[in-house]
Structure 1
C-alpha cells in the first residue's frame, strides 16, 4: 500500500509542474522540465492567450523562457506548436482574444426615422449611413490621456527577475487593490499617471523594480460603460456607451438631429454647464473632427431647434437645404453647396424671400456674394448660362479646317480663311457667302468674291461680326452626279459612277469582266439632248450597236462612253448548260441522267436506265416535279376577290411554300409501252424525278378509321371490304368522301348518283384514306324560331296576294 501511495505522489509531482507551466509560461520560475510534446492543444492555446494578454509575441518571450531554463530545441517546438495551433484555431483564438480584451459596448440599433418633411437637409445623410457610425476601435492601444474611473479593469504585470501578473478592476471608490502592495487611488487620473503611480507603489514591495531588473506594465484590459443623455435627436433618450465613445458616435446612436434639430449649434453639457458647442458642418465641409470630443459619464447632448434654414436649387454641385448661422454670407452658403457647377450663371443669383405678408424677389450680384446674408426661408435659384457665345464665328465648306473659331474685333474674311489654313483646290473662287445674325435676330446673307478677298481688295475682304457663318463653296457642289448602267452578261451588273474619258473597256474591267455566255453583240443606249422639241422626231434615245470579242475584255475598238449611257451585253443565242433528271426505284441503273435534247421523254430515260426490273410495279410509275418559285409568285399575284384577309388563298400559298416540295404526275406505263407518242410519255424538265414503285401486294388503310393497317390485296374485293377489315370508320370519319391513291400517284374519290354510291376500284399498292368530317355549327332554338317566323310571314303574304 505504501508503494502505491509513493508512486501516485511521484506521478503528481512530475506532471503538476508541467500543467502549471502550461497555464502560466511567464509566471513560472523554472522551465527546465517543460516537454512541449506532452502539451495538449488546449495547453498551447492557454500559453498563446497569456502572451496576448501581456501584449507579447512568442519572439519577445524567447529570452525570458531561455533564462528560466527552457532549452532552445524545446522553445523551437513550442513556437511551431503555437503557429500551427493558431492557424487551425484562428476563430477560437479570435474569440478568446475578444473575450480577454473585454472592450465592448452595448449594441444600440439605429433605426432612424428620416426627415420626410425636409429630406434634402444638408447633413441628414451622415446619420443614415451604417458604415459611418464613429464607433471607437476597442482593439487599439489605450490612449495615454484616457481618464480612469469605476468599472475599468487594469492588467498589471511585473516581468524580469521578479514576476507578477493580475487583472485588477477599479472599484466604485476609484481604487485598485494589488496583492502585497495595497490600494492605490486611480480614478480621475490618466492611464499614464496611473501607470507611474502603480510603478512607484510596487517598487516599494518589489526591490528589483526600483533597481531596473524588473519592469512594470499597466494596460487597460476592460473599459467601463458610461451613461449619456441625448435631447432633441431623432431618438432621444439615455444611452450606455463605451467610455472611449465621442460626441459623433453618440449622435449616430441617437439617429442624429430631429426634424427641426440644429446641425450647427449642438451643445455638450457637462456638470450642468455648456462644455462645447458642436458644429457638424465643420466635419461635413472640411473633414474637421475637432468638435468630435470624448464623452464622460452623465454628459448631456442637447440639440436645439434650428434658427434659420435656406434652400439652394439649380446649378450648384450640392443643392439642398442648409442651416445658416448669424453673420454668415452667401459666399459661406456657396461653400456648403460645394460651389457652382460648370453650367451655372455665376454673375447673379435669384432669391425668393418671404416677408411678413407676402413674397418678394431679389437679385444678388456677384459683387454682393461676400456681403449678402441669407434670411431664414430664402429660396435661392442658380440658373444656367445662356446657350450663346460672345466670341464665336464659323467657317465651312472648301477650306482645310472648317470649324468654329474665336472672333476678335477687326477680323476680316481673309483672316478667318487663313486661320482655317486656306481654301482647297476645288474651292469655287468667284463667290462666297456670309450668313449674318442681325440685331433683331433675323438673318441676312452677304456675298463676296473669294479670290479678290484673298488678294486684299477692301470691298470684298468684308469685316466680320460675331456669330457670322462663312461658306466657301466647292466646284464639285455644282456638278451633277453622273452615273452609267451596264446590264447583261457581265459578272457584276449594276449602276456605276461615270468618270471623264470612260470607255467600254474600262467599264467591263470595272464590273469584273464578261461571263462565258456573253455574245459579240453589245448595245449602248444614249440619251438625246436638245434645246428644242422636234415633234417629227419621236426618238427618245440614240442606239449604238457594237461587236466585241467575247473571250477578251480588251476590245480592239474601244468605244467612249457618255454620262447616263446604258450598256447591254447580250447572251449567246445557244448557251444552255446540260440539265439532269433523276431515276429512282425499281430500275436497273438508278441515278441522274442528262437530258440530251429539249424534248427528252420518260420512255427514253427509263430505257437509258436499263428499263424496269422484274420487281417493278407497272402501275406505280410517276414523276415528282419540283414546285418552281414562279408558280408560287403567280399564285400570289392572282386576285380571287376573296378579300385581303382571306384565309383560303393564304393557306394555299403556305402549303405550296412550306409543305409541298413537288407536284406528282401519274403515268400510264402500259399505254407508253404500246405507243411512245401517247400523251402519258411526257416531256421532262430539269429536276424531275422518275420514280418506279416496287410491286406491293398490300392495301394500306389510314385516316379516321379504327385501326390504321395494311390489308393483303384480294383480287375482286371491293372498297368497303378493306374499310371493314380495319374495323370501319370512327366517329369523326367521313366515309362518303373517302378516296384512294394509286401507286402511280393518281387519286380517285367515292361518288354518288341519287341513292346509289360507287367506290373506286382497289389495286395492289394503293392507299385508302378516310378524311375527318368538317365541324358544322348547329342552329340554336332561337335561330329555328326566326326561320319559322320568316316562313310564316311569307306564307301570309302569298295568301293575301291571291285573295
Structure 2
C-alpha cells in the first residue's frame, strides 16, 4: 500500500513538473524530465512567448537547456515543433487569436468549398433545373449543429477533448493519417472508422486509466467534433463533372449543386450513388421537388461516385397548367402523374380533354386524351401536351337589364319564363314601362333576333307574352323616363353661378335663383325671360321666333313674393344695374410730393388731375421725363394675333408685346400746364402708372459702341459728340441707324437725305442706342462668275445686233 501511495505521489509531482517546466523553461533548474511529445500546442506557445520576451532565439537557448539536463534528442524535437509553431504564428494564429476564435465562432472549422456556377439558360424549362441554378440554395451542411452521434471519424477530423471538475484538461486533437489521436499523458487512441459516440466512450475509458478523479466521478470528460475533414468525391454526367472536395457532412444534393446539376441530357430521376463499386442509392430529385421528401439526400463518404446517366423519357407540357415545362417520366407513370409534376391545371384550363402531339417513326400525329384517360395514358418520349383555355362563353347564363331593382346576369334553367326572371331580379321599378319589353336572342347560327312582348300581360299570366327563355337571352325592361326628352333651362347675367340647369315640374324662377346661389350685388330688378313658341301652324304674318317676358324682382331678397312658373328651355337673363362700378386705381411714382395709388374719381380723370392730387411736381422733377405706362391687355394681343402681318419668325410682334407687358405714352407737361386741353393730358385708364423722372444731367450711350457709359450732358453738343465720347461704334455698330430715347419715352432716329445726314437733338437723361448691322451674305466666287457670264453674253448680243 505504501508503494502504491508513493507511486501516485511521484506521478502527480511529475505532472506538476511538466506543467511548471512548460510554463517557465528558462527559470527551471532541471529539464531532464521534459518530454516534448507530451507538450500541448498551448505549452509550446508559452515557451515561444518566453523566448520572445527575453529577446532569445531557440538556438541561443540550446546551451542553457543542455546544461539543465535536457537531452539533445528532446531539444531537437522542441526546436522542430517551435519552428512549425512559428509558421502558424506568421499566418496569424497566435494564442490570442486561437482564444478569440473559440469565443467568437461557435461551431466547427471546415475548409471553404467554392464552385463557379454556370447559368444554364438553354435548359431553363426543364423541371428541376432551377434547383441547381440558384446560388442561395446549396444544401451545405450546418457546422453549428450538435455533434452527430453516428458521424464516422477519419483522418483529418479534429476532436475537442475536455476534462473538467477536480482535474482540468482541454485540447483540440487532430486525427492522424493513421486514424489515431494523441492525448497528453494518456497516449494514442485509434478512432478512425468508428462513430463519435463510440470514440467518446473509448476516450473516456483511456483517460480514466490516468486521471483518478475521472474514474471516481469527481471529473467529467467531454468529447466533441471541432474540425471536420474534407473528402473527395466524383460527379459524372453533371454540367460541371469532375472531382470535388466536400465536407464529410456533405450530402448527395450538396454535391449535385456544386456540379451544377445534371447536364443537358442528364437524368433527374435515376441518379446513381456508387460506393465501393456498387450502386448504393438511386436518387430521384422529383421526390424532393414534388413532395419535399429528402430520403434520397444521403451523406457522402470518401471516394463516392455520383453518376448521372442520360434521361430515358422527356415530355413537354404547354398551356394552361400552373408549372409548364419539360418533365422526365419513368416507365409506368401516367398523365395524372405528369399533371401532378406540373402542379395541376390552372383556373383557365379546359380540362375535358388534352391534345398531345406524338412522334412516330416518320412524322407527327395528334391524339386527344379525354379526362377519363388521364390515369391510364402513359406518356411517350417526345410527347408535347397542350392544355388550352376554356371557351369564353357560358352554358347557363341569362341577363336582364333596365328598370328592375337588380339588373345583372343570372343562371338559366330549362323552363324559365319572363316572370321568373323578373322575380329573381327583385321585381320592376316604379318607372318601368309595362306595355313593352324586349328580348334579344342568340339563334343557333349565332345571329341575333329581337322578340317584343307585352310586359304587363306576361306578369299577369298570359303564356303568349310570358314566353320561355333560352340561354344567353338578354331581357330589357324599358323605363318611362327613357321616352322623355331631357328638359333644361338656362340662366345668365347677375347670378352667382350662371349656366344650364335641369328642368323639373313646377320649377319657379324663385327656385332657380336659389339653386344658382342667389343674385349678385350688381343685379337689377329687371328680368327678361325668353320662352320657346310652339305651334302646329306656320304664321308668316307673325315674325316672332320667341316670346319675351319682362319681370321685376326684389334684389334685396332672394325669396320673391310672386312665384313665376318656368317652362322647359326658358332662357332667363338677370340684368345689371345701370351704375355699378367698383373703384378703379392708377399709380403715380417718381418726383411728386405724394406718390402712390389714387382712385379714379370719374370716368374722364386726366393726367393733370392725378398729378395735382399727388401734390404736384417736386423741385428735382424732370418735366421732360414724364410718361404713362399702360398695361397691354390680352384681348389686344389676341386682336393683333388674328391679323396676318406677314412677319418672319424672327420678327414675332406677339412675343415682343407679351414680354414688354406695357405700352408707353409720352407726356409733355409744359404744354399741359399751359393748356389743360392739350392732347398730352390724356384720360387715364385703370391700371395706368404715371412716372415722373428725377432730373438727370447724364446721357446714356449703349448698344454696339466700344464702351457703354453715361456722359454728362453739355448744352449745344450734338449726337456725334456723345458717340465719340464712348470711343465710337464697334465693328458691328450701325451708326446711320442710331436712335435716341428721350426721358418721357419718346424716340427719334437719324435721318438722311442724299449725302446729308441729320441727327436728333440730345436732351438730359436721354439714351442713345447704336444698333447692330444686319448680317449680309457675301456672293461666292461661283455667283460672281455667273454674273460675269451673263454680262459677257449680253455684250455679245449687243455687238451682234449692231453689225
Q: Which residue of 2 aligns with 1:663?
A: 663
Q: 1:441 to 1:579 in 2, by over 3 A?
A: same
Question: Would you say the 8 A contact 2:253–2:297 is kept in 1?
Answer: yes
Q: 1:489 to 1:113 in 2, by over 3 A?
A: closer
Q: 1:475 to 1:625 in 2, by over 3 A?
A: same
Shift of 1:208: 4.8
d(CA) in 2 for partners of 1:674 and 1:339? 106
> What does the per-residue CA deviation read over 1:418-449, in whole Å, with 9 as the maximum and x for residues that have no partner?
22212212222222111111111111112222
Question: Would you say the 8 A contact 2:356–2:386 is kept in 1?
Answer: yes
d(CA) in 1 for partners of 2:541 and 2:673? 65
Question: Would you say the 8 A contact 2:239–2:260 is kept in 1?
Answer: yes
1:281 counterpart (258, 266, 286): 286
**1:741 partnered with 2:741:** yes
Question: Would you say the 8 A contact 2:108–2:225 is kept in 1?
Answer: no
d(CA) in 1 for partners of 2:183 and 2:606? 127
Higher mean Cα deviation, 528-537 or 716-725? 528-537
Q: Which residue of 1 aligns with 2:113?
A: 107
Higher mean Cα deviation, 501-510 or 210-219? 210-219
**1:533 partnered with 2:538:** yes
Q: 1:795 to 1:561 in 2, by over 3 A?
A: farther
Q: Which residue of 2 aligns with 1:68?
A: none
Q: 1:713 to 1:202 in 2, by over 3 A?
A: closer
Q: Which residue of 1 aligns with 2:53?
A: none
1:425 counterpart (424, 430, 433): 430
**1:224 partnered with 2:229:** yes
Shift of 1:266: 0.8
> What does the per-residue CA deviation read over 1:165-207, in whole Å, with 9 as the maximum and x for residues that have no partner?
4544444444445556555443333222233334445555555
Q: 1:415 to 1:626 in 2, by over 3 A?
A: same
Shift of 1:93: 5.8
d(CA) in 2 for partners of 1:555 and 1:535? 38
Question: Would you say the 8 A contact 1:110–1:254 is kept in 2?
Answer: no
Q: 1:400 to 1:101 in 2, by over 3 A?
A: closer
Q: Which residue of 2 aligns with 1:150?
A: 155
Q: Which residue of 1 aligns with 2:704?
A: 704
Shift of 1:257: 1.1
Q: Which residue of 1 aligns with 2:500?
A: 495
Higher mean Cα deviation, 486-495 or 212-221? 212-221
d(CA) in 1 for partners of 2:96 and 2:341? 47
Shift of 1:775: 1.3
d(CA) in 2 for partners of 1:669 and 1:245? 107
d(CA) in 2 for partners of 1:168 and 1:587? 107
Give ranges in structure 1 of 5+ residues lacking alignment: 1-12, 22-41, 47-88
**1:127 partnered with 2:128:** no
Q: Which residue of 1 aligns with 2:418?
A: 413
Q: 1:685 to 1:288 in 2, by over 3 A?
A: same
Q: Which residue of 2 aligns with 1:721?
A: 721
d(CA) in 2 for partners of 1:122 and 1:754? 99
1:247 counterpart (252, 269, 277): 252
Shift of 1:340: 0.8
Question: Would you say the 8 A contact 2:269–2:285 is kept in 1?
Answer: yes
SS of 1:647's partner is coil
Shift of 1:20: 6.5
Q: Which residue of 2 aligns with 1:652?
A: 653
SS of 2:109's partner is coil
Q: Which residue of 2 aligns with 1:763?
A: 763
Question: Would you say the 8 A contact 1:103–1:139 is kept in 2?
Answer: no
1:347 counterpart (347, 352, 366): 352
Question: Would you say the 8 A contact 1:110–1:255 is kept in 2?
Answer: no
Aligned length in residues? 719
TM-score, length basis structure 1: 0.84
Question: Would you say the 8 A contact 1:115–1:258 is kept in 2?
Answer: no
For residues 202-351 of structure 1, the aligned pairs below 5 Å read: 202-206=207-211, 208-351=213-356
d(CA) in 1 for partners of 2:530 and 2:433? 34
d(CA) in 2 for partners of 1:696 and 1:229? 102
TM-score, length basis structure 2: 0.84
CA RMSD of the aligned region, Å?
2.8
**1:523 partnered with 2:528:** yes
Question: Would you say the 8 A contact 1:106–1:240 is kept in 2?
Answer: no
Higher mean Cα deviation, 215-224 or 356-365? 215-224
Q: 1:164 to 1:751 in 2, by over 3 A?
A: closer
Q: 1:439 to 1:679 in 2, by over 3 A?
A: same
d(CA) in 2 for partners of 1:524 and 1:113? 83
SS of 1:603's partner is helix
SS of 1:296's partner is coil
Q: 1:98 to 1:329 in 2, by over 3 A?
A: farther
d(CA) in 1 for partners of 2:753 and 2:546? 68
Shift of 1:608: 2.9
d(CA) in 2 for partners of 1:703 and 1:791? 42
Higher mean Cα deviation, 159-168 or 235-244? 159-168
d(CA) in 2 for partners of 1:366 and 1:769? 96
Shift of 1:565: 0.9
Shift of 1:481: 1.4
d(CA) in 1 for partners of 2:399 and 2:513? 45
d(CA) in 2 for partners of 1:93 and 1:170? 21
Shift of 1:802: 7.1
d(CA) in 2 for partners of 1:622 and 1:167? 104
SS of 1:229's partner is strand
Q: 1:93 to 1:546 in 2, by over 3 A?
A: farther
Question: Would you say the 8 A contact 1:739–1:768 is kept in 2?
Answer: yes
> What does the per-residue CA deviation read over 1:10-48, in whole Å, with 9 as the maximum and x for residues that have no partner?
xxx9xx989979xxxxxxxxxxxxxxxxxxxx99xx9xx
Q: 1:672 to 1:795 in 2, by over 3 A?
A: farther
> What does the per-residue CA deviation read over 1:307-342, in whole Å, with 9 as the maximum and x for residues that have no partner?
111111111111111111111111111111111111
Q: 1:725 to 1:110 in 2, by over 3 A?
A: closer
d(CA) in 1 for partners of 2:104 and 2:671? 108
Q: 1:584 to 1:165 in 2, by over 3 A?
A: closer
d(CA) in 2 for partners of 1:799 and 1:575? 86
d(CA) in 2 for partners of 1:551 and 1:801? 99
d(CA) in 2 for partners of 1:99 and 1:526? 97
Q: Which residue of 2 aligns with 1:35?
A: none
Higher mean Cα deviation, 679-688 or 242-251? 679-688
**1:377 partnered with 2:382:** yes
Q: 1:361 to 1:711 in 2, by over 3 A?
A: same
d(CA) in 1 for partners of 2:307 and 2:537? 103
d(CA) in 2 for partners of 1:401 and 1:519? 51
d(CA) in 2 for partners of 1:424 and 1:90? 91
Question: Would you say the 8 A contact 1:265–1:304 is kept in 2?
Answer: yes
Question: Would you say the 8 A contact 2:108–2:144 is kept in 1?
Answer: no
Shift of 1:407: 1.4
Question: Would you say the 8 A contact 1:115–1:259 is kept in 2?
Answer: no
d(CA) in 1 for partners of 2:112 and 2:681? 106
Shift of 1:259: 1.1
For residues 442-481 of structure 1, the aligned pairs below 5 Å read: 442-481=447-486
SS of 1:476's partner is helix
Q: Which residue of 1 aligns with 2:37?
A: none
d(CA) in 2 for partners of 1:648 and 1:256? 72
Q: 1:149 to 1:623 in 2, by over 3 A?
A: closer
